[in-house]
Amino acid sequence: MERNARTVTKRKGAGFVSSIELRHVRKCYENKNTVIEDMNLVIPDGSFTVLVGPSGCGKSTTLRMIAGLEEITSGDLLMDGVRMNEVDPGHRGIAMVFQNYALYPTMSVRKNIEFGLVNAKVPKDEIARRVKDISEIVGLSEYLDRRPSQLSGGQRQRVALARAMVKQPQVFLMDEPLSNLDAKLRTQMRTELIALHQRLGTTFVYVTHDQTEAMSMATKIVLMNKGEIQQAAEPLTIYGDPVNRFTAQFIGTPTMNVFPVADIPGAARLALPANAHYLGFRPSRGLVLREGMTPASHDLVFDATIAIHEMMGSEIIYQAKAAFGTVQFKTFNQAEIPVGEKIKLMVERASMYLFDENENRVRS
Amino acid sequence: MAAAAALQLEADKAKRKSHSVLHAIKPYLCIAPAIVILAVFWVYPIFNMGYLSLFKWDLISPTMKFVGLQNFQKLFADPQFWQTLANTLIYTVFVVGLGVGGGLLIALFLKKRTKTNGFLQAVIFSPYVVSLASIALLWMWIMNRDFGLLNGVLGFFGISAVDWLGDTHVTLASLILISVWKSIGYDALILVSALQGIPQHLYEAARLDRAGAWATFRSITFPMISPTMFFLVIVDVIASLKVFETIQIMTQGGPQNATNTLVFSLYQYGFAFNKVGYAAAIGMVLLVLIAVFSVVYFKVLSKRVHYK
């Protein structure tokens, strides 16, 4: 809820924001390999939309089609209602940050930042002003005369951002821009990107395979698999109300526990719908049954033996062997349960996710 | 006991010392064969050439007459030397310019990895692997005034025959053409490889930065292949300044000295006219020319070359 309430300073009147729409977009390569079959997607203006999914799901291809770096085989790409399929990448009002930054290695930081403006024939004094402003914002003022090879990974990332920002684009496209940074810097840059989005209020389209990045940054997540959109919604909806087993298991750490209903002893008394083929629950919803806790009649209770535990600080992640498979669950601020200990785990009926035999969500 | 221990200690020290000496000279021993070969066949001849340039010697007499710098004075006063120098420089400028420039154009055309381009690269590279003597003989036939292929083709279009290897105004250009024909495939192949090494994402970033074809070439492609261009220019310049084989086989420096170059002139004076001192003086001029070019080239351009 907090993420949805993010205040963005839209400058719609000034034309700084732009919605993007993909209508029946298909992408097929020369070798007849179809990457995207039929994509329909609306990216709202001013949103921070994250395309997320496993490798090869088509998220980068989608981004590159929006950028104009990949031809669209069929279908329409619209920006603010205008068809953009044949428009050159440089004239789409977009800026892109690449995974490896794609900085020009032979140019200084200053030249890298101003290259797009020089090509767009922006007046020299305007270029100088913008470069100065942007380099101050991203903290690069003292590195303007250096070459990219003389900068650290984080500084290069900032140059890539500055190069995108200086063009004052309507849309920022980012293709896994944090994946080359170490964990600490990645977390820091994540926060900075959120702040940047809040300040600029422009549309951000961000590609990642990291669900944590998606959940923490997005105002809208588009979850993809095998060239198809599995679910497009706000992060909390994706997490709390997944439409299928893939979405349920892709988002959330550790991944959701899902087992065939038929394998779970005592499943019959749970009063599940007839088409419920799989039963799932998030590790955070697996509760260790202790004295004084009374399960309701429709709650799932089963025996398990602790096999592995991982201390994460405020939480402990356990793997426990149950009769129907290995279950993961978490405890928060509790004493560690030793490996080998036999426990009873409980899952409340309201915390269960049910899926039919096609792995689509069954709501009860 | 103490004495025996001291002796053992001394022996250990000596052993360690001999080990460390061996360790220190090992790299020098490893490169010694190469150094000896370089010294005998490269360094010594250079010094010997400088030494010979101060003498008058006919290659046969057992004694040499010291003449100081007279060979150089004669050389610089000789109009034929200046024509030879001019021929050499013209030849070098055009061979390098057309070879590297043309090679770059071909490379830009053939850089995409396709089967056709691979085949064309092999075709264009093939002259490079043929010996210069064979190439010279082939082109002597192609450029023959009376029954050569070139004039045959020109005649087909009604153009009158050209004496490619006999006209003073054309012969140097003919030799330049042959040299470019031989080297352009090599230059193109090396440049294709350099062009293919440029990351594609730089071009994508340039497209997003609205860079047109010329801006992309000037700001991205050319700087990225600058180390290769730097290498090709210096190698081709030195090779062109030393041109000999085609002239020896095809024109003998003629007609009327129109294709005489420094190295061919050196050869003629040294081994045809038996003026070894004079020939050595020509060799020294060539050496200085190459050295000055190399130093200036490295000083001026090496900072503008982008190394990864």
Instruction: Give the mean pLDDT of chain B.
Output: 91
Amino acid A296: pLDDT: 86
Closest A-chain CA to B201: A102
pLDDT at B147: 87
Cα gap B259→B169, rounded to integer Å: 10
CA-nearest residue of chain A to B203?
Answer: A102
Hey, is B248 helix, strand or coil? helix
What is the rounded CA–CA span in Å between residue A176 and residue A174? Answer: 6
Task: Report whether pLDDT(A4) > 60.
Answer: no
Nearest 5°: the CA angle A112, A114, A116 is: 90
Q: Classify residue A309 by burial, with Cβ atoms within 10 Å: 0-12, 13-18, 19+.
A: middle
B253-272 pLDDT, tens per residue? 888 889 999 999 999 999 99
Task: Identify which has the larger pLDDT, A340 or B7.
Answer: A340
Residue range B174-186: mean pLDDT, rounded: 94
| Burial (Cβ within 10 Å: 0-12, 13-18, ≥19) of residue B102 | middle
Q: Which residue in the block uniquely carries the two structure tokens 């700001």?
A: B219
* d(C-alpha A104, C-alpha A116), whole Å: 12
Question: What pLDDT was estimated at residue A344?
Answer: 92
| Whether A119 and B205 lie within 8 Å, measured CB to CB | no
Question: pLDDT exceeding 70 applies to what percent of chain B?
Answer: 99
The verdict on a CB contact (< 8 Å) between A119 and B220 is no
With residues binned 3-state (H G I as helix, E B as strand, rest as coil), the percentages for chain A, rounded to 5, are 30, 30, 40
Residue A3, in any domain of the structure: no
Confidence of residue B16 (pLDDT cuts 50, 70, 90): confident
Closest Cα to residue A355, out of A291, A289, A287, A276? A276
> Quick one: average pLDDT of A39-44?
95
Give a yes or no: residue A324 inside a domain: yes
- Rounded CA-CA distance A255/A212 in Å is 12
Q: For the domain covering B70-304, report its CATH number.
A: 1.10.3720.10
Count Cβ atoms within 10 A of the Cβ of residue A147 and give its class: 0-12 exposed, 13-18 middle, 19 or more buried. Answer: middle
> Considering Cα of A330, then A336, then A339, then A345, what sign does the dihedral take?
negative
Sheet bearing A342-347, strands edge to edge: A287-288, A342-347, A300-311, A315-322, A325-332
- Residue in A107, A116, A163 nearest the CB of B210: A116
- Which of B3, B83, B120 lies closest to B254 in space, CA to CA? B83
Based on the domain organization, do A208 and A267 belong to the same domain? no
Q: Which DSSP state fits A256?
A: P
Q: Which domain holds residue A105?
A: 12-245
* A-interface mutation test, from B208, B217, B224, B229, most A Cβ less than 10 A away: B208
CA angle A91, A94, A96 (to 5 degrees): 125
Q: Is residue A1 part of a domain?
A: no
Domain-embedded: residue A6:
no
Domain boundary among A195, A212, A245: A245
Torsion of CA A284, A288, A289, A295, to 10 degrees: 20
A326, B139, B151, B158, B267 from B155: Cα distances, Å: 88, 18, 6, 5, 37
Which residues are within 8 A (CB) of B191 and not within 5 positions of it... i.e. 6 or more apart?
B103, B104, B106, B107, B225, B228, B229, B232
The confidence score (pLDDT) of residue B174 equals 95
- Report the alpha-carbon distance of residue A112 to residue A302 in Å, rounded: 61
For chain B, positions 155-214, list CB contacts with chain A under 8 A. 199, 201-202, 204-212
Residue A15 has pLDDT above 50, yes or no: no
Q: What is the strand order of the sheet A278-281 is part of?
A: A257-260, A278-281, A353-355, A361-362
For residues A158 and A20, membership in a common domain is answered with: yes
**What is the reported pLDDT for B2?**
66
Listed residues A245, A276, A304: the one ending a domain: A245
pLDDT, one tens digit per residue, over B83-105 is 999 999 999 999 999 999 999 99
Would strands A203-208 and A48-52 be described as parallel, antiparallel, or unpaired?
A: parallel
Higher pLDDT pick, A180 / A359? A359
Give the model confidence (pLDDT) of B135-147 as tens digits: 999 999 999 988 8
Which CATH number covers residue A333? Answer: 2.40.50.140
Tokens of B122: 């092999």
- The vertex-B240 CA angle with B239 and B245, nearest 5°, equals 85
Is A6's pLDDT higher than 70? no
ipTM passes above 0.95: no
A203 part of a folded domain: yes
Q: Could you give the number of structural domains in chain A?
A: 2
Q: Which residues of A touch B201 (CB under 8 A)?
A: 98, 100, 102
In a domain, A2, yes or no: no
pLDDT band at B1 (very low <50, low <70, confident <90, very high): low
Residues B296, B78: contact at Cβ < 8 Å? no
B224 touches chain A (CB under 8 A): yes
Q: Which residue of A has its CA nearest to B213?
A: A119
* Claim to verify: residue A104 and residue A145 sit in the same structural domain: yes
Nearest Cα of chain A lies from the Cα of B101 at a distance, in angstroms, of 21
The answer to whether the CB atoms of B210 and A67 lie below 8 A apart is: no
pLDDT at A34 over 80: yes
Q: Give the tokens for residue A204.
A: 């951000």
DSSP per-residue codes, B290-307 = HHHHHHHHHHHHGGGS--
What is the pLDDT confidence band of residue A336, given thresholds at 50, 70 and 90? Answer: confident
Reported as a pLDDT band with limits 50, 70 and 90, residue A90 is very high
Shared domain for A300 and A212, answered yes or no, is no
In sign, the C-alpha dihedral spanning B145, B147, B149, B153 is positive
Q: Do B219 and A116 touch (CB under 8 A)?
A: no
CA A209, CA A60: separation in Å to the nearest integer? Answer: 10
Do A213 and A294 belong together in one domain?
no
Share of chain A above pLDDT 70, in %: 95
The nearest CA of chain A is from the CA of B306 a distance in Å of 6
Per-residue pLDDT tens over the stretch B41-71: 999 999 999 999 999 998 888 888 999 899 9
Could A104 and B202 be called an inter-chain contact, meaning their C-beta atoms sit closer than 8 Å?
yes
Residues A203 and A283 in one domain: no
Q: How far is CA A3 from the centre of its chain?
A: 13
**Residue B220 is nearest to which of A89, A95, A104, comparing CB atoms?**
A104
Residues of chain A in Cβ contact (below 8 Å) with chain B: 67-69, 88-91, 94-96, 98, 100, 102-107, 115-116, 119-120, 149, 163
Q: Sorting pLDDT into bands at 50, 70 and 90, what band is A2?
A: very low
One domain, residues A263 and A121: no
* Chain B residues near residue A69 by CB distance under 8 angstroms: 204, 207-208
Show the tokens assigned to B306: 């982008």
Q: Give percent helix, percent strand, percent coil of chain B, each to the nearest 5.
A: 75, 0, 20
**What letter represents residue B273's amino acid?**
F
* CATH code of A86's domain: 3.40.50.300
> How many angstroms separate the CA atoms of B227 and B308, rounded?
9
User: Measured at the alpha carbon of residue B224, what is the angle toward residues B219 and B228, in degrees to the nearest 5?
Assistant: 135
Token pair belonging to B45: 């001849």
Give, in degrees to the nearest 5, the angle at Cα B121 between B120 and B127.
100
Please provide the average confidence, as pLDDT, over all residues in chain A.
Answer: 90
Would you list the DSSP string of B48-100? Answer: HHHHHTTEE--SSSS--EE-TTHHHHHHHH-HHHHHHHHHHHHHHHHHHHHHH
List strand residue ranges (DSSP E) for A263-363, in order. Answer: 278-281, 287-288, 300-311, 315-322, 325-332, 342-347, 353-355, 361-362
Contact status, residue A263 vs residue A277, Cβ threshold 8 Å? no
Do A194 and A308 belong to one domain? no
Q: Give mean pLDDT, residues A7-27.
A: 65
Q: Looking at residue B308, what is its pLDDT? A: 62
Asked if A330 and A256 count as a contact pair (C-beta separation under 8 A), the reply is no
The answer to whether the Cα torsion of A300, A306, A311, A312 is positive or negative is: negative
Confidence (pLDDT) at B171 = 94
Nearest CB partner across the interface for B210, out of A69, A90, A163: A90
